[in-house]
């Protein structure tokens, strides 16, 4: 690990402290042409915007050329307004949009026997690994990958090699790794290192990307009051940077609640969450905390669609969020070839269902309610519920409403993972 910064106070690392550490790191990595791979706007609180801006100016001030390829994965491209809000004064012309179906080149294949071993026989097919062609261009003598390590439903803990092989990856790796995570079970992965999907990415980094000059800039952040607080910055190519970040993120981004939550209320900021593809983090990150028979209420004023592209959106509308067994049966049918060809969408449908263990209610704009109900969720009028649950009065965690109703309030599900400690310990869980 080339750089390790940890907060000295509960207020987190200051921008000045981050800048000093980052400058020392970059001084050891001179370059003439740099490619930066930050997350997109859905990781606004990652502090990657600050790191990207500082790195851009560090190198351009020294005469280098810098290009920026946000690691969109399957997400839609960033708008000019989003880029300015997250990355500051970097010219929008320096940003390139990753097209996960078209802009990639295969660099290797993770073998079937390796997959069978790490999945305990649940997955026995090889996985081809692709990356955006820009990452393979020898003109770049340095690739920087800034981003947040935080619990994730597919890989266990986000970032590091995932930023490469999903964020700038292609259809096969995205589809198959998402389905690998689904068949192995996200509850066995979330919040943990060395999940089956993480092992795939580690393998690909070691075997297919070893000759590329990449440097990971890994943050651990929270945003308890809506403002980003940076608890640590861990930089380097080797895995120890990831492991140190994971250790800290497990402390900062996982909340063990003392008992199952009977009613969980989650708010989705409309500037960040406009689809159920993104908004279903509400389900992924709380499913280990919501009690059997409980209710998850998602306040989603900005959700107006399902998928992040037209093809995935159509699949969600066609098949809906109806449970693991339902989706697995669909994948066996000859008339569901469209879903078989888009396994990341199939995995998403599995992840987005509670399998009947608790109810999911999306509170959306009135015009969206019938669509929400058509894919298997309950719906409610978001304005009516915002009038009941006043965001400015709710505090993170347990709240008792004036009529005595007890709720657990989460202002942003993307920044954490919530687990019922009683159930976790009863089932012999460990991180």
Q: Based on the fold, state whether residues 232 and 307 are members of the same structural domain.
A: no
Confidence label for 214 from pLDDT (cuts 50, 70 and 90): very high
Q: Is the pLDDT of residue 113 over 80?
A: yes
Q: What are phi and psi of 182, to 5 degrees?
A: -70, -45
Give the global pTM: 0.93
CATH for 265 = 3.90.226.30
Q: Which residue is associated with the tokens 């949009």?
A: 97
Per the structure, how many domains does the chain have? 2
Same domain as 291, residue 177: no
Q: What is the mean pLDDT of the chain?
A: 96
Same domain as 75, residue 205: yes
Long-range contacts at 107-111 (CB < 8 A, ≥ 24 apart): 107/131, 107/136, 107/204, 107/208, 107/209, 108/204, 108/207, 108/208, 110/200, 110/203, 110/204
Q: Are 72 and 167 spatial neighbours (Cβ–Cβ below 8 Å)?
A: yes
**Range of the structural domain that residue 421 is part of:** 256-426
- pLDDT digit string (tens) for 16-36? 999 999 999 999 999 999 999
Residue 431 lies in a domain: no
Strands 104-110 vs 127-132: parallel, antiparallel or unpaired: antiparallel
Dist CA 180 CA 154 (whole Å): 8
pLDDT at residue 428 greater than cutoff 80: no
Average pLDDT over residues 68-72: 98
Structure letter (DSSP) for residue 237: S
- If asked whether residues 181 and 44 sit together in one domain, one would say yes
Tell me, what CATH number does 148's domain have?
A: 3.40.50.11440
Q: Are residues 382 and 345 in the same domain?
A: yes
What does the buried/exposed string (b/e) look like for 176-196 if buried means 16 or more CB atoms within 10 Å of the residue's CB? bbbbbbbebebeebbbbbebb
CA distances from 310 to 130, 313, 315, 317 (A): 22, 5, 9, 11
Q: State mean pLDDT over 395-404.
A: 96
Q: Do 420 and 260 meet the contact criterion of CB atoms below 8 Å apart?
A: yes
Say whether pLDDT at 202 is over 90.
yes
Q: Which of 27, 36, 32, 51 is nearest to 220 (CA)?
A: 51
Task: Pull the structure tokens for residue 237.
Answer: 């190519």
For residues 165 and 199, membership in a common domain is answered with yes
| 46 and 135 together in one domain | yes
The closest alpha carbon to 46, from 430, 414, 429, 418, belongs to: 414
Query: Could you report the per-residue pLDDT of 279-321, keeping only the tens digit for each?
Result: 999 999 999 999 999 999 999 999 999 999 899 999 999 999 9
How many other C-beta atoms can be found within 10 angstroms of the C-beta atom of residue 395? Answer: 9
241 and 264 in a single domain? The answer is no
Report how far residue 19's alpha carbon sits from residue 31's, in angstroms, rounded to the nearest whole number: 18
Residues 245 and 305 in one domain: no
Q: Which residues contact 104 (CB under 8 A, 6 or more apart)?
A: 130, 131, 132, 133, 168, 169, 170, 171
422 located within any domain: yes
pLDDT digits (tens, 9 = 90+) for 264-283: 999 999 999 999 999 999 99
Per-residue confidence (pLDDT) for residue 285, from 0 to 100: 97
């Amino acid at each position: 690990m080339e750089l390790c910064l940890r907060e000295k106070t509960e207020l987190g690392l200051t921008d000045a402290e981050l800048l000093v550490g980052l400058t020392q790191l970059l001084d050891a990595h001179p370059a003439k042409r740099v490619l930066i791979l930050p997350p997109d706007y859905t990781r606004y609180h990652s502090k990657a915007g600050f790191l990207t801006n500082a790195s851009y100016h560090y190198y351009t001030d020294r005469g280098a050329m810098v290009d920026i390829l946000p690691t969109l994965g399957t997400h839609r491209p960033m708008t000019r307004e989003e880029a300015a809000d997250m990355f500051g004064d970097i010219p929008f012309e320096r940003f390139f949009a990753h097209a996960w179906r078209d802009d990639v080149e295969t660099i290797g294949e993770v073998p079937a026997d390796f997959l069978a071993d790490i999945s305990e026989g649940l997955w026995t097919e090889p996985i081809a690994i692709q990356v955006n062609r820009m990452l393979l261009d020898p003109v770049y003598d340095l690739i920087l990958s800034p981003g947040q390590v935080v619990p994730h439903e597919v890989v266990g803990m986000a970032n590091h090699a995932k930023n490469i092989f999903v964020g700038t990856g292609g259809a096969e790796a995205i589809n198959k790794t998402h389905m690998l995570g689904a068949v192995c079970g996200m509850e066995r992965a979330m919040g943990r290192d060395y999940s089956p999907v993480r092992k795939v990415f580690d393998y690909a980094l070691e075997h297919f990307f070893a000759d590329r000059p990449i440097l990971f800039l890994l943050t651990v952040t929270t945003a308890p009051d809506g403002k980003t607080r940076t608890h640590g910055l861990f930089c380097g190519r080797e895995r120890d940077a990831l492991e140190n970040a994971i250790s800290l993120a497990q402390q900062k981004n996982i909340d063990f609640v003392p008992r199952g939550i009977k009613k969980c209320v989650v708010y989705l900021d409309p500037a960040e969450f406009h689809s159920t593809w993104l908004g279903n983090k509400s389900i992924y990150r709380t499913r280990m905390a919501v009690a059997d028979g409980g209710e998850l209420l998602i306040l989603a004023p900005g959700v107006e669609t399902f998928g992040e592209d037209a093809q995935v959106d159509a699949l969600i509308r066609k098949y809906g969020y109806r449970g693991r067994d339902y989706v697995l049966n669909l994948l066996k049918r000859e008339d569901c070839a469209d879903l078989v060809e888009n396994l990341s969408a199939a995995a998403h449908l599995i992840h987005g269902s509670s399998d009947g263990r608790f109810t999911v209610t999306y509170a959306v704009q009135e015009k969206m309610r019938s669509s929400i109900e058509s894919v298997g969720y309950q719906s409610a009028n978001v304005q009516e519920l915002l009038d009941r649950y006043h965001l400015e009065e709710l505090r993170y965690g347990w709240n008792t409403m004036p009529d005595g109703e007890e709720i657990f309030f989460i202002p942003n599900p993307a920044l954490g993972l919530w687990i019922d400690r009683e159930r976790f310990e009863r089932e012999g869980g460990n991180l």
